[in-house]
Amino acid sequence: MNKAGLSYYDIVIIGGGPAGLAAAISAKESGADSILVLERDRELGGILNQCIHNGFGLHTFKEELTGPEYAARFISRFHELGIDCRLNTMVLDLKAEAPSGDEGSSNGCIKTITYSSRSEGLVQITAGAVILAMGCRERPRGALNTPGYRPAGIYTAGTAQRLVNIEGCMPGRRVVILGSGDIGLIMARRMTLEGAKVLAVAEVMPYSGGLKRNIVQCLDDYGIPLLLSHTVTEIKGKERVEAVVISEVDENRRPVPGTEKEYECDTLLLSVGLLPENELSRGAGVGISPVTSGPVVSESLETSVPGVFACGNVLHVHDLVDYVSEEAAAAGKRAAEYIKGGASAGSDTPCVPVKTGNGVRYTVPSYIHPDKAGERITLRFRVGDVYRDCAICVYLNDSRIARKKARILAPGEMQEVILSGDELRSFPDLTEIKVCIEAN
């Protein structure tokens, strides 16, 4: 208890999915004494529990696992370490101001978390550090800018995945998918294996938003057409979807008259993008990137609010869960260091911004404190278009220090470069780091 009479934890982690689990394990192994994970679902594991396909764990465990198998390995370690968690718990508010009469933590700021659960009611607790690991959500069907009715039979791809894999319920038998994100591609295969007919996957962009391997394994292997530069322009049916009209779009994403084609179907799945869950982050005053819709973080994955860290899909949408786990482990370690009295982003330590150019949309982290950086700094980013026979280049001020050739770069696949902390520290008068794409 602190002076305000509220329970205190060294670290509170919001979210018990792959990011939250990895962060909790890493923080505990790094010496944090009291850790609490708050999870709104009835079990740990997050979205992995409904991802029964394989392909997980190739980087982390050097073998192919299903989503539940991957989660189970982290959950097992989580319980071995005796980390506390609250399930069926919704976090309502996060404040980075100490309650009246509280002296604060060793870094001068206590975080107050308000949550609600059926068993405990409304509860307030405090923490020395908080790790945001709330994941992301699918764009709602309101993002479908198509005039007309919204009859039954329209689902997000993730909702359909849960219905099929968890609830044992088929959403429909004749399916069209709008958007070529990875969940949509995977559900094209899943629905086919369950006996449905997937008529087409329409993508408004001239490139797919998913991994190349998913295009091959989930569409090409089953003869499902991928219609690039196409979108749904009409939904037919009032009570239930009866058909959709798909049209080609021009370079401005406007339907081209005369290209309409009708597909008789009973189901439309939407795979039109993911949004990081950052309502809590905004309420706490965390700075948000307009590009990723996730927090702006330093090399320690600390946000603009000292002692509040972010990792996983709440930070930026990942393509592989292995990278989520790696990133979350780093956040857990840094949070443990923070509560032991390590310097935070709120100190006077000078920082160097990481700027983007020539096709790079964003980087994580967005800025780096060279004197606090470790030996290796992983910069992850996505490009804004398809680039062929090119190179990823990194500049310190105007000096190019790295050039990594690439046969093809696509928005659906995350990229990374590794920077040397020693090189950053030894560079004279470093004012900016820049990542860009150049021709070979």
pLDDT at position 128: 95
With H, G, I as helix, E, B as strand and everything else as coil, classify residue 405. Answer: strand
Residue 102: what residue type? D
- In angstroms, rounded to a whole number, what is the distance separating the alpha carbons of residues 58 and 297? 27
pLDDT at position 297: 97
For residue 365, whether the previous peptide bond is cis, meaning omega lies within 30 degrees of 0, is yes
Q: What is the pLDDT of residues 195-251, one digit of tens each?
A: 999 999 999 999 998 989 999 999 999 999 999 999 999 999 999 999 999 999 999
Percent of the chain clearing pLDDT 90 (strictly above) = 83
Q: What is the pLDDT of residues 33-66, one digit of tens each?
A: 999 999 999 999 999 999 999 999 999 999 999 9
- In angstroms, rounded to a whole number, what is the distance separating the alpha carbons of residues 323 and 328? 8
Say how many C-beta atoms besides its own lie within 10 A of residue 185's C-beta: 29
Q: 149 pLDDT exceeds 90? A: no
- In angstroms, rounded to a whole number, what is the distance separating the alpha carbons of residues 113 and 121? 14
Q: 179 pLDDT exceeds 60? A: yes
pLDDT confidence bin for 144, thresholds 50/70/90: low
pLDDT at position 1: 60
Q: Mean pLDDT over all residues of the chain? A: 92
- In angstroms, rounded to a whole number, what is the distance separating the alpha carbons of residues 298 and 289? 12
Instruction: Report strand pairing: 261-264 vs 243-248.
Output: antiparallel
In the chain, the domains with their CATH numbers are: 7-137+275-347 (3.50.50.60), 140-272 (3.50.50.60), 356-439 (2.60.40)
With H, G, I as helix, E, B as strand and everything else as coil, classify residue 187. Answer: helix
pLDDT at position 350: 80
- Choice among 136-140, 298-302, 430-434 with the minimum mean pLDDT: 136-140
pLDDT confidence bin for 143, thresholds 50/70/90: low
- CA 379 vs. chain centroid, Å, equals 15
Q: What is the mean pLDDT of residues 125-131?
A: 96
pLDDT at position 374: 82
Residue at token pair 């044992």: 168
- In angstroms, rounded to a whole number, what is the distance separating the alpha carbons of residues 256 and 248? 6
Half-sphere exposure of 321 (CA within 13 A, CB side): 29
Check if the beta carbon of residue 309 is closer than 8 Å to that of residue 132.
yes
Q: 131 pLDDT exceeds 90? A: yes
